Structure 1
Amino acid sequence: MGKLLLSVLLLISLSFTLFPSHLITQAKENTNNDYIPFQILSINDFHGNLDTKSTLNGKEVGGAAYLATHLNQRQAEMEAQAEKDGKKPVTLRLEAGDAVGASPTVSSLLQDEPTMKALNQMDFKLGVLGNHSFDEGIQEFKRLLHATSVHPNVAKYTEGTDYKYRGVDDDFKFLAANVVEKASGEHIFDPYTIKQVGGVHVGFIGIVTPETTTSAAPKHTKSYQFLDITKTINKYAMELEKKGVKAIVVVAHEGASTNNGETTGVMADLASKLDDQVDIIFAAHSHEIANGVVDGKLINQNYNYGQAFGDVRTKLDPETDDFVKGSTKAEVVLNTRDVTPDPEVQAIVSEAKKVTEKAASEPIGQAASGESIGKRKPEDGENELGNPVTDAQRIMTTGADFAITNSGGIREALIPQTNDKGNHIITWGAAYAVQPFNGYMQLIELTGQQIKDGLSQQWQKPGEIMFLQISGFKYTYIDGSKVPDCKQKYCVQDVFLADGKTKMDMNKTYKVAMNEFLADGGDGFSVFSQGEVLRNAQTDTETFIAYIEKLASEGKKVDPKIEGRATLVEPSKKDVDDGSSGTAIDKSHGKADDDNSKTDNLGDNTNDSNSGHKLPETSTNIYKNLLVGIILIGAGFTILLYRRKRI
């Protein structure tokens, strides 16, 4: 028996030699009640929706002032519970990108300054860059944060008022770990930050979606390199670990989604490849709900437009400087409008509405009915709103034969207002909301073949539709599975002039109006960047507004119809026999910028056995479990040998 005891002791001693002493110390975590309650309240993809009201899960939701009240209530709940437990909690508020950009007029007319003012008032202290941070260039985004100058648009709309903007607080930190300048290799924003939480150091790494290179205007991204997400996170996780930081959070403007207990998407796919010291991942960009665990890492995302927010609660161990195993839970909370709006944030919203109301409420035309026209981002085919948008670009851009625009640039349905006389008025603000980017229109030369090839790039990304809206011509497209040389879902078959009968000459050069984003190859339409730019015109925003005013001056109302500008047809026998369909383009998968699909599995992610999730474990706990397993296996093996000797 003495030999058995000696063998076990030797095995235990060997285990302590194999695992460094600091890991063994961490393995003793959570043996006492000396922990720090830590709460993270988060939003993503707010997009300047200061006062937008919508319905989600049967409830009215949205609005910054209501959000402020909910956040305050949740923080108060956390503090009350901690006080009851004799603890002092810490709360951090963060946003996971696209707080601004593609915003309603109440924010965008003032360059999104009211939104940043509201978030600052709500005590947000951490943010990451989103793809829309690049809409007007990084210098404008930095101006927005620091108020280094007064933007001409702000000066225009606030003239004669006492409006003031001072930027955000110095401790409101923005991150972008994977974006560097090509020329110097320097980061445009810090890659990470370290927050002291009750004496424990917590590291936050910020990530920007690499899709920014196609979803933002190329002229605003061409100077930057977007680094690999996984390599970037692991690099800075190791750097943080070397500094003694063991509690690590990733804040990523990249997507994830939880459906029926399964969490998928880009960040879910990457989770198992990330350093095990990463415990929590905040996702964004896909505008979905995510609340699940992948590879021991909690992933949380909270819809968009301020409709909901995340309430993540966990504990930090001051002895190990790490998260306490099994302590993390997350809830996606609806921002319902059944609470009293916060008066200070409401004052900011009211000021912005007052300043912008005069311009936004100005009538510019009429619609044939009071129904909303079209929809936001109509990327599933020809759309009744896409037609007047592109008609405006073709007609109002002198010399244009055709017009083509990306559906992603149509940011809202056109919503008329019915007055007391029964007229369906289109206001300046309603038209602005449809085309808010103020990107310059360009007149470019393209051959018929380039137009056809560019149209075929609508289906270059498997599983994603990037439909273009067009004016001045028509085309047919076919199911790619039915013809031999089309290696994507659909390919263009024939392109016709406006009569739908005369085929476009593939060798002839045509003049095409399109916004500078698309003309530069935005959204992956690289063929259009091959065209020669003849001249710039007014912005897409001004073009659409001017077109509606033109119709009004002619006594016409906006009354668009689906006209068969793009038609799915059966392939001809010739196509099937010799494969003479449209250009075959087969490129890697990309994810949509603003996918608005939603799920209903709202609620807690806790360590309840019915939740279907295993809560996060740090590398500390993994080592601890491994160590115990080795000891038990070794002891069992020794006993077996001892018994065999006795026999």
Structure 2
Amino acid sequence: MKSTPNGLRKLVVSLMIPMMVTSGVATLPELALAKAGTGSTEVDNYRTPLKQPEYQHRTKQDKRDIPVQVLGINDLHGGLSTTGTAYIGSHQYQNTGTVGRLAAYLDQAQNQFKRVHHSKNTFRVEAGDMVGAAPADSSLLAHESTMHALRGMKFQIGTLGNHEFDRGLPEFNRILHGKKAGAGADALVQHYPNEPTNMKIVVANVVKKSTNKAPYGYKPYLIRKVKAHGKTAKIGFIGLELGSLSDIPPAKNVKDYKILDEAESIAKYDRILNKKGVKAVVVMAHTAVQTRFGETAGPTVDILHKLNKLDPKNNVGLYVAAHSHQYANGMVGKTRVVQALSSGKAYDDAQGYVSPKTGKFVGLKAHVYPVLSAKDDAKVKTNAKVAAIAKDADKRVGPKVNVVIGKTAGGQSITKSTTKSLENAIGETVVDGQLYEANKPGGLKADFAMTNNGGVRSDLIPNAQGQITWGAAMAVQPFGDVLQVVEMTGQQIQDALNQQYYNPAFFMQVAGLKYTYTNTPGGKQHAKVLKMTKTDGTPIDLATKYRVVISDYIHTGGDRFYAFKNTPTLGSLGTDSDVFVQYIKDMATANQPLTAPKPDRKIYQATGTTLTLPTSAAPVAVK
């Protein structure tokens, strides 16, 4: 693993601590901010493009150049009805989201552009993770409801994210093209109407190992003509998957594909496009970035720096980023980079011109805007057609989603708000449940349970009566990963915990154990484990073998937790979703409402202090 520079490490940790989740899908995905490239930033102060000064009027350029608009989203994650807080620049907007509102704002932006510039040169694009890690109104319908919403919102071009591989790329391709589900599909899926999205998928750096070509006939790029006042030009759209894809979905779903270098792939196809007379290029890429404290940083910035070295004359004018679920709007060299949060809470609107003489972008601007609620912006009417898709999906899954399975203490939500030591209440509730279910009479028996932060996707939010519904539980654990009990030595457990501290974007929630850690300035990892004990204080011996509940995802090294790979499997508990639901039911039967655990499982020990060990050992100075 690569170490994370100190400045970016602070950035990553700072964005993880709030977790910015109010409902639906969490804002922190399984990202990897590996290097510390930076770019300049743009300020987004306006709630809608109707207020944006430079978007209000025609200019002299309208007479000589061709006006174009690119409307983009990323990481929708099946968020048909998801709402939450949108943090855009220094502004905070409450209750943003839902596809009905998103559709309305896309329509508003496009209509404004058409009115001002008398142009129909608008393209709607998305940058991956359309589906996966989604609420029940998408996941229970095999995400076909989300495909219907994307069709209703008239998205034309998209690329692949890591979650398009969750159920295997063949399944994603099925729903993309509106094909019937297999005979073994759930009745909800069997009865859902099939419609193609009419979206073209472009991906330049995913190829099948057997053919060295993109799967399912996907193209690395598309060319589209634009025209105005009798003049024409071309725009190229390149799609890009994140380079670390192989570390994220289930291994069986990516084993047949090669993931090529991002910058090298852009450079290759930019040159091809250039030879075809295309000198205005848009990249839609499922690669992470964030604008924060006056800097734009993350892998996207590093990719563009590398691209500019490989191909200094490249024509990439706009880069629509994704994966980290953060706000971004900045310049990296000559390229505008944007990212619009996640789950339909925001969108980006890029406007500018293509010169018919040079074929290049000129005067390209981009801004990110919130998807405001009807209460906060009553003048924008919700798109009834798209809202009806979400309403229909809710109705179809309602009988299952609304079944009450338990309750929380005092009707309180159990949240993903994360401490400085990277503990959060809902994550620890999940692993507490896994350990409890493993140790029920007749169970597999386990000493500990551990899960990656990316496997826990939402707060646990009870209904108005303080009851936990099946849908609320499924929003927390939507993947259906298989839980396994594996055998690990104490040393392997310590190695897994230490792997959190190579890249703080990936961390563990633990049950049945506690540990003390300290920082390691200048080392390959920014912290290390000093001491591990069971919950009752019994030391964990490095040579002793223990039984640990983990998901099949991290058992294959997912999220770069390689210490779990090849550990012997002793049995399976079932899917994480089913186990969590059963745990809530068991607590209800025992009349024990769920309560947020106390965050005392990861204890920080400052460098230069004395660590107290068990009485059989002498105190040790922490260096």
TM over 0.5: yes
- Distance of 1:560 and 1:79 partners within structure 2: 51
Identify the residue that residue 205 of structure 1 maps to in structure 2: 238
Structure 1 stretches (4+) deviating beyond 6 angstroms? Answer: 376-379, 578-582
Stretches of structure 2 that go unaligned for 5 or more consecutive residues are 1-59, 87-91
Please state how far the C-alpha of 1:138 moved relative to its aligned partner: 1.3
Counterpart residue type for residue 365 of structure 1: G
- Distance of 1:580 and 1:212 partners within structure 2: 41
Counterpart residue type for residue 597 of structure 2: K
- Distance of 2:419 and 2:551 partners within structure 1: 17
Counterpart residue type for residue 492 of structure 1: V
Please state how far the C-alpha of 1:164 moved relative to its aligned partner: 0.9
1:312–1:328 CA contact under 8 A, matched in 2: yes
- Distance of 2:62 and 2:567 partners within structure 1: 69
**Root-mean-square deviation (Å):** 2.8
Residue correspondence of structure 1 range 253-402 to structure 2 within 5 A? 253-259=286-292, 262-272=295-305, 273-274=307-308, 275=311, 276-323=314-361, 325=362, 327-337=363-373, 338=377, 339-375=380-416, 380-397=421-438, 398-399=443-444, 400-402=446-448
- Distance of 1:407 and 1:50 partners within structure 2: 23
- Distance of 2:177 and 2:620 partners within structure 1: 56
Please state how far the C-alpha of 1:466 moved relative to its aligned partner: 2.7
Q: State whether structure 2 residue 598 is matched by structure 1 residue 562.
A: yes
| CA spacing shift, 1:152–1:303, aligned 2, 3 Å | farther
Identify the residue that residue 171 of structure 2 maps to in structure 1: 140
Deviations 1:434-462 (A, max 9, x none): 1010111112111121111111111022x
1:116–1:145 CA contact under 8 A, matched in 2: yes
Please state how far the C-alpha of 1:563 moved relative to its aligned partner: 5.8
- Distance of 1:573 and 1:332 partners within structure 2: 49
Identify the residue that residue 66 of structure 1 maps to in structure 2: 101
Counterpart residue type for residue 78 of structure 2: G
Give the one of 130, 149, 158 matched to 1:99: 130
Identify the residue that residue 429 of structure 1 maps to in structure 2: 471
- Distance of 1:31 and 1:364 partners within structure 2: 61
1:492–1:581 CA contact under 8 A, matched in 2: no
Identify the residue that residue 196 of structure 1 maps to in structure 2: 225
Identify the residue that residue 614 of structure 1 maps to in structure 2: none
2:62–2:117 CA contact under 8 A, matched in 1: no
| CA spacing shift, 1:418–1:350, aligned 2, 3 Å | closer
| CA spacing shift, 1:322–1:512, aligned 2, 3 Å | same
Identify the residue that residue 456 of structure 1 maps to in structure 2: 498
- Distance of 1:164 and 1:65 partners within structure 2: 19
| CA spacing shift, 1:224–1:295, aligned 2, 3 Å | same
Please state how far the C-alpha of 1:270 moved relative to its aligned partner: 3.2
Deviations 1:203-260 (A, max 9, x none): 1111111232223223322332221111110011111112222221111111233346
Deviations 1:407-431 (A, max 9, x none): 1111001111232xxxx21110111
Give the one of 496, 499, 504 matched to 2:533: 496
- Distance of 1:371 and 1:575 partners within structure 2: 36
| CA spacing shift, 1:237–1:158, aligned 2, 3 Å | closer
| CA spacing shift, 1:149–1:379, aligned 2, 3 Å | farther
Q: Report the 3-state secondary structure (helix = DSSP H, G, I; strand = E; otherwise coil) of the residue aligned with 2:388.
A: helix
Identify the residue that residue 418 of structure 1 maps to in structure 2: 464
Deviations 1:91-143 (A, max 9, x none): 11001111211111221221211111101111100111112112222122112
2:101–2:383 CA contact under 8 A, matched in 1: yes
Counterpart residue type for residue 192 of structure 2: Y
Q: State whether structure 2 residue 553 is matched by structure 1 residue 517.
A: yes
- Distance of 2:84 and 2:533 partners within structure 1: 41
Identify the residue that residue 18 of structure 2 maps to in structure 1: none
Q: State whether structure 2 residue 444 is matched by structure 1 residue 444.
A: no
Residue correspondence of structure 1 range 572-587 to structure 2 within 5 A? none
Q: State whether structure 2 residue 256 is matched by structure 1 residue 227.
A: no
- Distance of 1:564 and 1:313 partners within structure 2: 50
Q: Between Structure 1 and Structure 2, how many residues are aligned?
A: 534
- Distance of 1:378 and 1:98 partners within structure 2: 27
| CA spacing shift, 1:396–1:581, aligned 2, 3 Å | farther
2:421–2:603 CA contact under 8 A, matched in 1: no
Identify the residue that residue 282 of structure 2 maps to in structure 1: 249
Q: Report the 3-state secondary structure (helix = DSSP H, G, I; strand = E; otherwise coil) of the residue aligned with 2:330.
A: strand
Q: State whether structure 2 residue 588 is matched by structure 1 residue 552.
A: yes
Stretches of structure 1 that go unaligned for 5 or more consecutive residues are 1-29, 585-647
Q: State whether structure 2 residue 101 is matched by structure 1 residue 55.
A: no
Counterpart residue type for residue 484 of structure 2: Q
Q: Report the 3-state secondary structure (helix = DSSP H, G, I; strand = E; otherwise coil) of the residue aligned with 1:132.
A: helix
1:261–1:292 CA contact under 8 A, matched in 2: no
Q: Report the 3-state secondary structure (helix = DSSP H, G, I; strand = E; otherwise coil) of the residue aligned with 2:181.
A: coil
- Distance of 1:294 and 1:402 partners within structure 2: 45
Q: State whether structure 2 residue 506 is matched by structure 1 residue 466.
A: yes
Pick the structure with greater CA Rg.
1
Identify the residue that residue 117 of structure 1 maps to in structure 2: 148
Identify the residue that residue 81 of structure 1 maps to in structure 2: 116
Deviations 1:31-52 (A, max 9, x none): 9934322111111111111112
Counterpart residue type for residue 390 of structure 1: V
- Distance of 1:281 and 1:471 partners within structure 2: 41
| CA spacing shift, 1:60–1:497, aligned 2, 3 Å | closer
- Distance of 2:156 and 2:185 partners within structure 1: 25
Counterpart residue type for residue 333 of structure 2: D
1:456–1:490 CA contact under 8 A, matched in 2: yes
1:366–1:558 CA contact under 8 A, matched in 2: yes
Deviations 1:123-177 (A, max 9, x none): 1001111121122221221122123331578633357xx63122322xx111221
- Distance of 2:571 and 2:219 partners within structure 1: 38
Q: Report the 3-state secondary structure (helix = DSSP H, G, I; strand = E; otherwise coil) of the residue aligned with 1:357.
A: helix
1:380–1:466 CA contact under 8 A, matched in 2: no
The TM-score with structure 2 as length reference comes to 0.80
Q: Which deviates the most, 314-323 or 503-512?
A: 314-323
The TM-score with structure 1 as length reference comes to 0.77
- Distance of 2:467 and 2:116 partners within structure 1: 52
1:493–1:581 CA contact under 8 A, matched in 2: no
- Distance of 1:278 and 1:181 partners within structure 2: 26
Residue correspondence of structure 1 range 176-191 to structure 2 within 5 A? 176-188=203-215, 189-191=218-220
- Distance of 1:478 and 1:364 partners within structure 2: 40
